[in-house]
Amino acid sequence: MSSVQQESQSQQQCSYLKNCELFPKLCLHTTMQVWKIFYCEGNYTLCARYKTAEKGIPVSPMLLPNGKLLCLPKPKRARH
């Protein structure tokens, strides 16, 4: 890869890659990697997390790039 290609590629990556709470999760789960490729490594200016951070507003760990909130399954109650 030429230095021009490397520079171009790095410019397409989100500047919050190292600090984003969601990014490591996107890397771990194969079903979420499409988001990493689309948002984090390409169209990061479309990411709701990026836009929120750019406004100086704290970013919820539950906020997804598409602006929806991550819904985790409710923990099951322990039976006694």
Q: Which is nearer to ligand SF4, 2 or 29 (CB)?
A: 29
Contact region for ligand SF4 (CB under 6 A) — 3-11, 39-47, 71-79? 39-47
- Nearer residue to ligand SF4 within complex by CB, 1 or 23: 23
Within residues 57-76, the interface with ligand SF4 by CB under 6 A covers: 65
Instruction: Give me the 14-33 binding string for ligand SF4, x by CB under 6 A, dash otherwise.
Output: x-xx--x-xx----------
Rounded CA separation 19/23 (Å) = 8
List of residues 6+ apart from 72 with CB closer than 8 A: none
CA-CA distance, 68 to 80, in Å (whole number)? 36
Rounded to an integer, what distance in angstroms lies between the CA atom of residue 59 and that of residue 50? Answer: 9
